[in-house]
Amino acid sequence: QVQLVESGGGLVQAGDSLRLSCVASGRAVSTVSTYTMAWFRQAPGKEREFVAIIRWIGTNAYIADYADSVKGRFTISRDNTKNTMYLQMNSLKPEDTAIYYCAADRLRGALGPADFRSWGQGTQVTVSS
């Protein structure tokens, strides 16, 4: 597996934008372009929930999916030259406030939190109304 480090969180107002980054490193980093990578978030007192996922489906081909709550506002992407995954968050709402975690796994079918073996430490996103 790989080591992951998130950055880019902060305090913003409703309607603002943020871009989160997740940099992968470690012995397996040369194969991370084929890993399933995802963003999850956890608000105080709530369980960790899925936000977005990006899966490798072939040479330089990926497919993305989103939670309904963020669809149309958030965009997941990756730059394999930098071993980095991004989450562009637009039109932020107070209910988006949470700690955001990136996750990665070499299994293509990884989906829920229990399926991912590599996790970052999280980055706090706070959206004020």
Tokens of 28: 């397996």
Q: Which residue has the tokens 């997941």?
A: 76
DSSP conformation class of 83:
T
Average pLDDT over residues 52-68: 94
- Backbone dihedral region for residue 106 (phi beyond 0: left; psi -120 to 50: alpha; all else: beta): alpha
Residue 28 has pLDDT above 90, yes or no: no
Average pLDDT over residues 32-61: 94
Q: Does residue 20 contact residue 89 with C-beta atoms inside 8 Å?
A: yes
Q: Does residue 110 contact residue 36 with C-beta atoms inside 8 Å?
A: yes
Mean residue pLDDT of the chain comes to: 95
Q: Which residue has the tokens 């309904």?
A: 68
Of the candidates 17, 37, 58, 62, the residue with the CA atom closest to the CA atom of residue 116: 37
Of the candidates 101, 104, 102, 99, the residue with the CA atom closest to the CA atom of residue 116: 104
Weakest mean pLDDT among 3-12, 27-36, 49-58, 115-124: 27-36
State percent of the chain over pLDDT 70.
100
Q: What is the pLDDT of residue 34?
A: 92
Q: How confident is the model at residue 14 (pLDDT cuts 50, 70, 90)?
A: very high
